[in-house]
Structure 1
Amino acid sequence: MHVRVRLSDRLLGASPREGNRPLWLVTEALVVSCVGTAIVVCAGLLAVLSGFSAYLSTAAVTVGVAAVVLYLLITRAGHLLVAGVAVLGALLASYGPGAATEVWLSGVGRTQDVVVTLVAYEPVPSGARGGPAYYCSVRRQDGSPVETRLWRGCGPSVAPGDMLGMLYDPAGRVPPRGVEGHQELLRSVGRTVPLLLAFAVLCFVAVVRSYRVPSALSSG
């Protein structure tokens, strides 16, 4: 029985499921949940706005997640809960920077028609799920090239000389995107927001369960 209790403490935290938690513990859990989530969000947003590559943006969010996980380990949170936070953080590191880019462009981006100069077809690797296969190299109407290739709006029916809509940041902080409605924005936000909420909730639970609340019998 003692071994089972110790194993439960290691996996799920020391606090039993029943019993009132002290106010300071709930407050600490709220602070860790809010601050930890803010660190992850700000790391992704700052990385995107700093013009980092997708790899560096993912690395920035990963560092933020690692800081939260380290704090939870220091507070002796349950290993299973900490692992859950790490997994959710890894998913946020993968999806978060893309969502931040989509939100930023939808807020400050401007649209411009560009001219297609080349259409390239790149087969999806075997075993990979979906993914764009057509990429369009484009130039502005004044003749200046656009460094980023566009895949939204590009397809087998597009030929050099055709016009495509491009959404871009006037300050150049994020790479441009092809214009294709709001589907990608909704998809990215709809995928990232639930992950953020689950990350915050799991951080809260991990901190709350990291402290064993004395029972009424033991205190009496």
Structure 2
Amino acid sequence: MAHLRVMVWGPAEFVGLPPWWLVGEGILVGILGAGAIVATTLFGAWTGRPSLADGEAGLVCVGALALYLAFVGAERALVGIAALLGVCLALRVPQTAAGVVLAERGQVQSVVVTSVENGRATAGGHARYLCSVADADGTPLKVRIWRGCGQTTRPGDAFAVVYDPKGAIAPRGAQEGTGNDGVDGRPGALGARARRRGAWSP
């Protein structure tokens, strides 16, 4: 048991409660590490830098945090837990950051469904429908929407899509591999929210 305890806690093993300054330092390091992950990802989404927006820079921050904790002699269990939580955060933040950017500068464009492709099974076992759409002038768009497109969707239904006029965000809610052309031919990202007949889809 003594050998196992040494392997888990490492050089930071001690008896009793940790001192207050050590607790404060741990909280500060955790806040700074999480802030760095969120800030770099949000900056990448805002400026359109894929290496930052996709969470890669966040993973680098996680690695730097783990190295710092190991360098200052933190217990091995704490280093492992911090690294695991950091990786989960870095993988989760990109989607949230894209939503924040769309909420701040996203624009709404009305489109009309021209055709609906039959549902196909996804990884979760649910059927996914793809809607081909056209703008108000009848010009077909190069993306097909799947979010908000369902079994009851019919040609002629109206959608309102949220897109990024600066094209900094990769398309979401659209078929993969259809390019980054947004509404009205402007480079932009379709938002995750689509509206059908006046009701926003979840």
TM-score (norm 2): 0.70
Which residue type is aligned with residue 70 of structure 2?
L
Cα deviation digits, residues 167-208 of structure 1 (max 9, x gap): 122333222223257886xxxxxxxxxxxxxxxxxxxxxxxx
Uncovered stretches (5+) of structure 2, i.e. residues with no partner? 170-188
- AA matched with 1:18: L
- Cα pair 1:135 1:150 within 8 Å, conserved: yes
1:155 positional shift: 1.0
Of 78, 103, 106, 2:103 maps to: 106
Contact 1:54 1:97 in 2 (8 A): no
Q: Percent sequence identity over matched residues? A: 32
Question: In the alignment, which of 122, 129, 142 is matched to residue 124 of structure 2?
Answer: 129
- Closer, same or farther: CA 20–74 of 1 in aligned 2, 3 Å: closer
Q: Contact between 1:115 and 1:141, CA under 8 Å: does it hold in 2? A: yes
2:75 to 72, 78, 83: 78
Which one has more relative contact order, counting CA pairs under 8 Å at least 6 apart? 1
* Residue 33 of structure 2 corresponds to residue 36 of structure 1: yes
How far did 1:40 drift? 0.6
Measure the CA separation in 1 of the matches of 2:162 and 2:4.
Answer: 57
Name the counterpart of 1:204: none
Q: Secondary structure at the match of 2:159?
A: strand
TM-score, length-scaled by structure 1: 0.65
CA deviation profile, 1:100-155 (whole Å, cap 9, x unmatched)? 11222223323221122443345334xx3366712323332245554543222211
User: 1:7 — aligned with what?
Assistant: 7
Gaps of 5+ in 1: 185-220
Deviation beyond 6 Å, 4+ runs, structure 1: none
The alpha-carbon distance between structure 1 residues 55 and 107, as it changes in their structure 2 partners (threshold 3 A), is: closer
Q: Could you tell me whether the CA contact under 8 Å between 1:43 and 1:64 is conserved in 2? A: no
Q: Match of 1:170?
A: 165
The equivalent of 1:20 in structure 2 is 19
The equivalent residue for 1:140 is 135
Instruction: Describe the shift of the 1:54–1:122 C-alpha distance in structure 2 as closer, same or farther (beyond 3 A).
Output: farther
* 2:19 partner amino acid: N
Instruction: State the aligned residue count.
Output: 179
Contact (CA 8 Å) 2:112, 2:158: kept in 1 or not? yes
